[in-house]
Structure formats: C-alpha cells, structure tokens
Amino acid sequence: MSVLLDVVLPVFLVIGFGWVAAWRAWISQDAIDGIMRFAQSFALPVLLFKGVAALNLTAAFQPGLMLSFYIGAFSGFAFGFAGARFVFRRPLTDCVAIAFACTFSNSLLLGVPITERAYGAAALAGNFAIISIHAPLIYSVGIIAMEWARSHEAGGKGPGEIAMQVLRGVISQPLLIGIACGFAVNLSGVTKPEFFSAAVDMVAGAGLPAALFGLGGVLWRYRPEGDKGAIAMVVFASLVLHPMIAYGLARFGFGLGVDALRSITLTAAMAPGVNAYVFANMYGVGKRVSASAVLVATGLSIFTTWGWLNLLP
C-alpha cells in the first residue's frame, strides 16, 4: 500500500488536479492548451536534453534493453491491428490508428515521474535511452503504416511521398530536437557553463508538473463512449500485454540488471499517451477509440502500475 500512496498517487493527484480544474472551469481550455504547449514544446524537450546530455551512452544503450521494450511495443501494434481488422472489422486506416494507441505508451509524462519517485533520479538512464528513439521510431512506423493503408484503400501516395511525410512528421517534433541537442552535447564532451546548467535545471524542473496538470485538463475533454470492445483491447495491450512481454524478455530472455528491468517494465506499463489521440486526429480516423482509451487506461494505470511496482525487485 505504501508504494501506491508514496509513488503512484502523487503523480495521479497532479493529473487529477488538472482534470478537476478543467471540469469546474477554474481554468479555460485555451489555458490548458497553453500549458501543454509550454510543456511539450519547451520544458520537456529541455528535460530530455538534460537527461540525454548526461547519459552514459555505453551503459544506457544496451541492445537487450531496447529489444525488450520495442519487441513488446510492436507486439502490441500487431495485436491491435489484427484485433481491429479481424475482430471488430474496422477499415484499414482505423486499424492503424488503434494499433498506434496500443503501442505508444506515455513514456515521458508518466513513466519518468513514477520511475523517479520509486527508485530515484539515478534510475532514469534506461528511461531516457528508451525515450530517445520512442517518438521518432513509433511515429515513423505509424505514418508508414497509415500511408500504406490510405494508399491501399484509395490509391494514394507513392513511396517517395510517404518517405517525405515520415521525415516531416519526425523532424518537426520538439522532443526530438531536445534529444538531438542532448546527444550533440554528450558526444562532443563540451562543458556546460554553470549559469546555463542552472537555467536548464529550472526549465526542466517545470516540465513534468506542468505536463501532468495539463494532461489532466486535456483528459477532461474526452468521454468514454461506444466501441467498448476496441477500447478494452487498447487498454489490455497497453497495461498488460506490452509490459508482460517486455518484462519477460528483459528478465528471462536477456537477463538484464535490476535498473534496466525497472525502466523497461514501468515505461512499457504506462497508459497510451495523448500522442495516440494526436496521431488519430491528424488522420481523422479512430479518434473516439484513441481518446477514450487514453482516458480509461490512464485511470486504470493507477492500479496496474501499483501491481507492476510490487512485482519488480
């Protein structure tokens, strides 16, 4: 019970604060959008810059760590796509959006604060290693799959156009810019001036609280409605299937150490991020399933995260 009270609930109380504030109209939706824009476009990229710049790249980027997490993630993609297509008989484009929601765990807004509260800031190396390619890799796969689905259904773009769409979608992500700058500093070995590091710490420190509060406000917009089977499938893939495969591979397949096992499992066990809805909204398909799954899974993850924390060494 102490794990639930000390580690999990503080994170979700901040989300709940944002949800209540939006529900009671103590803050406008425009203000919520502003908070999320600050967090996602400025503060969180700075947080990632700080984390990646300080990473021990040799220790953090273990093949087993990446394979454990991403085999689990893309198993979720395959599971979601097959379920949407063959069980729920959805169009191909809907299937891709639903599969994307099964894959895109909220690695940054939930995974980082929960891991940090449970095991300390020193335990975040594996989280940052996973996050460094998380959005670029999954967005690339999602965009490629969606453009293939659209082409299959309506005779759309050719390979060159799809490649340019993927490139534009990936390089325009502010989080990727923060990660790339972090790698540049890390690999160059340049020493950061104290005043610069202090400013980075200040902005990075604002990122997670602002993002969690804003996430609560964003979730208030969503209403679980219809498509209960598809929503349940996304929730299962995100909260059970992905972390189960990742944990099994990390512990029994690759025999990774405790820190890596914790980072992999907790990152995999997070609910779908708001990016799942952003992706669906970008293409105008599967929006209701994605939005509802984000909301339902975020609420249920209070209890599933507690379970995974108790299972971990």
Contact 231, 289 (CB under 8 A): yes
Q: Does residue 100 carry a pLDDT above 90?
A: yes
DSSP 8-class letter at 105: B
Q: How far is C-alpha 142 from the chain's CA centre?
A: 14
Mean pLDDT along residues 297-306: 90
| Number of domains observed in the structure of the chain | 1
pLDDT digits (tens, 9 = 90+) for 154-176: 555 667 676 776 667 667 678 77
CA distance 65 to 214: 30
Q: What angle do CA 107, 208, 205 make, to 5 degrees?
A: 130
pLDDT digits (tens, 9 = 90+) for 44-54: 889 888 888 88
Say what the pLDDT of residue 302 is.
Answer: 87
Contact 295, 224 (CB under 8 A): yes
Say what the pLDDT of residue 153 is.
Answer: 61
User: Global pTM?
Assistant: 0.81
pLDDT digits (tens, 9 = 90+) for 199-214: 999 998 888 888 889 8
CA distance 298 to 306: 13
Looking at the chain, the whole-number percentage of residues with pLDDT higher than 70 is 89
Say what the pLDDT of residue 2 is.
Answer: 59
pLDDT tier for residue 237 given thresholds of 50, 70 and 90: very high
Domain that holds residue 279: 2-311
pLDDT digits (tens, 9 = 90+) for 239-264: 999 999 999 999 999 999 999 999 99
Q: Which of 231-245, 254-268, 296-310 has the lowest mean pLDDT?
A: 296-310
CA distance 133 to 139: 10
DSSP 8-class letter at 236: H
DSSP 206-217: HHHHHHHHHHHH
Other C-beta atoms closer than 10 Å to the C-beta of 189 total 6
If you average pLDDT over each of 85-99, 111-125, 287-301, which comes out highest? 85-99
Q: What is the CATH number of the domain that holds 235?
A: 1.20.1530.20
